[in-house]
A and B are shown apart, each in its own frame.
Chain A
Amino acid sequence: MRSLAAACLAALAACGAPAERVAAGPSAPLPEHGVTVEDTAPKEDLRLVPPEVYMRTYLRLFGGLAPLDAQKRARGADGAGLFDAWDDYVSALGFPDYRLDVPRLTQTNALMAATFERLGVALCDRALEHDLKAPKGAELPPLSERLVFAFELPHGAMDQAAFASRFDVLHRTFLGYPASLAPPERTARFFQLYRDIVAGHTKADPRSRFTPDEAGWASVCYGLVRHPEFHLY
């Protein structure tokens, strides 16, 4: 009760106070604390690779196939459900729909990211099957005809140097520059990913289509095909 009375008194006092006035300017010059040059450089946002470019690149990585042929190869006949149909991915990839006046998407969203992942996994798995897994009795294609994995797997254990040279091939394929110009930790991190997958795969249920080495390289491929630098420019 006492505090309520105090609040009422304060309110009454405020009513009687003169109206607050905002000064037209500072009463004294503002002290200078430092000078910075105005940054007039144009500021760029992250920009997505246009879906047309993504798709042409994707088809090129698939061996220069036409979309319907790439779709057929990506789906395969193994029942893996790696790929549905391009028609299912068109809007998720951010293509505009001129018929319905839907503009092209310039930013990613969850559905687009999931589509990139789905398409990326299909590409890496099928490319690995083509490049590194010859059917029984057949030879692997020559390096010049390999789609993504244009290198030989070592006969023994993979050390970091052996990994780095091969990783550079994939790095150039997907990101467009040598791994040596990438942040210094990148190769080591991908090597760690490779080793983790190989180790995990060794213990895993042996029903997988891939050997531990193949699974390791597939995971490196997944990492690069989903890398932000692949999708941005």
Chain B
Amino acid sequence: MRPGSRRGSRTTLAVVLVAAIAPLALDARSAAPPSSQRTLEDYRHFRITAIDLLGRMPTREEIAAFERSDFDMDRWMDAQLGGPAYVERLTRIFMDALRLEPNVDFRSAPSELYRHDVLGPDGKAVAVYYREGQRRERPETDGEFCLSPEETGVVIRAHQPDQGTPKKVSEKGLDQATVLVKPWWLYRDFRTKNPSQRYGEGWKDPDPQYKPVESLLTEPDGKPVVAVRICREEAGLRDTGHVYASGRVVAPAKDAKLPGGRLRPPPLDKPYATQHQGQELACDTKMALDTAPDCGCGVGLERCMPGDSNQGGNAFYYPNHMPLGPGMPLDDARQQVQRWFPYWWSREAVRFIDDLFASDRDFREILTGKQTFVNGPLAQFYRTIQRTNCCGPEATFGMLEEKEPLFDPAAVPADLEPQDVSTWKLVDNRGPHAAGILTMPMFLEKYASARARGAALYNDFLCKSFVAESQHLAPSVEPNLMVRPGCKTCHATLEPLAAYFSRVEPASFVFLPQASFPVRSTTCKLDKNGRLNGACNALYDPAFADPRGATLRGAYGSPAHADETPVGAGQDITRMPEFAACAVQRVASSFLGRPTTPDDDALLASLTDAFVRSGFHMKTLVRGIVRSDAYRRSNNLSSTTWRAGTR
């Protein structure tokens, strides 16, 4: 080993620690070793620094090392910068502000599989997976469960109680309507022609954190599930399907007998389907579920998520609480399938922020970085599931599938399978629209509207709040809140910030490209009744429309910002002097354990200057804080007070 190498210095440190531990093993025959010349203030400083940089109070061994005359506090502090506790400490500051944990479910009809039991030919329950709203060519089952009420005795609908009395399904009927599939959640090698590596058997060393619930693994009779039975259409393997038109354009009469004993009539053809019958379309889209019976869940059902009941149900075990990180969960709970992806969105955001501090990246990347980290579930999500969120009203504008997604599916590492929950890989560039946390699903779902997103930027990265003026609010029909009395105080600032996000749909992450969705559309305009119709009303704002055109929702505050997108928001905000000052204030306040006051102005100015000169590197900032007198004094009690008051 070369002298001075990193490994060598670690060994030296270990020797020092062992030497330091030895005198601590206190025996009754020996008194405590003579205390060093450290003062109480020194000990307090060491303790608060350990709390901040080690993430815990110092051990007896560390205190003994600190007491040695050759202990170099500056060197010790430097050694902690970049460690996992330091990273967790800094991430906590920004997570406390951003709160990027899911309080939302992710539901996307094309990716949701429900499970319902029917009575098999032998009278035993047979579980069948299906999608709600799946198009089928049989009018008896089009848009419904793949076996009709006449065949099962029951009207089966997701989230609804059964209607009717179950009866045995014939062998032929079952075989015609359903098939057996070896799905991704059971088989590691689900992409092969004959998968054989089943979870619990044949699949060597599955990721220990990948834990499907028992009900996905065992049949009602207790035997392991070898293959799942699923409606034939849902098992479709194709990547592209075709627009289907049934020829039904008129609703049946109210008293008409419906085919197969169904309770509601089969879906009618939408004008788009009639006009584009046979047109090819991608199968992992909302349009495909609505219009293409030849589109299913793909190979191994990769485009779909399993639920263990007709309500969606549970799918996997993962923690509810893990305040010390995923490696130290406080529990392990069965979780609903709708929470699976939001859970990983949150982990993605934390990983991204962690990496900013672990790698001491330029802190501005929190709003501008193109990179991220994905694991297996996120790879599955960005590869295909995110695409199922689109498109509905967008199709009218020619967008049948996401054209410019915030995360380009082509950037997803090809070697991550959905079951690789513990394997995280760096993605250098998510795509041209990526902007730090601003374009991550977790941020966009947590802050669901453009205004909420703008306000989060303002509060969390500029340390500013919206404070309404005291004013009598008179009734007003003025749609422009930047000028409406009583509203303008806040909205004159908020609306331009919100406009950066007008191309990212609310409560979603579908990106509306400029080419298809100009800020000012001349296609969408008020009709003779003063209304915006159909898809225009969904995406363009009737309050900012006239007979000549309409403005994209949320863009009126600043059409320029709308076209700059979240990427522009990240660039503009990080260029503002308040950005660095805000970051410094947040971190300094957290380390000092109190709000900063005007008395701290000189310290903050000096820290901000050093932080900016360093290229926005957080280690420089933290090093400056923990070496400052203010930090050393930040004990909540001076030793005098302490002696006087605390016994």
Chain A residues close to B by CB (< 8 Å): 40-42, 44-47, 49-53, 55-57, 59-60, 66-68, 85-87, 90, 95-101, 103-104, 142-144, 150-154, 161-162, 165-166, 168-169, 172-173, 176-178, 180-181, 183, 185-186, 189, 228-229, 232-233
Contacts and interface: CB of A to CB of B under 8 A. Distances in A.
A101 to B, nearest CB: 6
17 contacts: A42-B592, A42-B630, A45-B636, A55-B324, A67-B330, A68-B331, A99-B101, A104-B96, A144-B21, A144-B25, A161-B31, A168-B26, A169-B24, A169-B60, A176-B50, A178-B35, A233-B635
B58 A165 contact: no
Contacts of A142: 25
Contacts, number: 163
B599 A42 contact: yes
Given A50-B92, A178-B35, A233-B635, A67 B328 contact: yes
Interface in B73-128: 85, 88, 92, 95-96, 99-103
B646 A228 contact: yes
Interface in B585-621: 592-594, 597, 599-600
Interface in B272-325: 320-321, 323-324
Interface in B244-264: none
Contacts of A152: 27-28
B626 to A, nearest CB: 14
Contacts of A161: 31
A44 B103 contact: no
Q: In the complex, which of the residues B43, B50, B51, B600 has the most CB atoms of chain A within 10 Å of its own CB atom?
A: B51
A180 B34 CA distance: 10
Contact of A52 (B40, B46, B88): B88
Contact of B92 (A52, A87, A176, A185): A52
B211 interface: no
B634 interface: yes
A176 B41 CA distance: 11
Interface residues of B, number: 62
Contacts of B323: 51-52, 55, 90, 95
A73 to B, nearest CB: 15
Given A55-B324, A151-B27, A42 B594 contact: yes
B102 to A, nearest CB: 6
A37 to B, nearest CB: 15
B637 A176 contact: no
B8 interface: no
Contacts of A144: 21, 24-25
A87 B99 contact: no
Given A47-B636, A183-B646, A87 B57 contact: no
A143 B331 contact: no
Given A53-B57, A97-B101, A186-B647, 17 more contacts: A42-B599, A44-B594, A49-B57, A50-B51, A67-B324, A87-B330, A90-B321, A95-B323, A143-B25, A144-B21, A150-B26, A166-B28, A180-B35, A181-B40, A185-B647, A189-B647, A233-B635
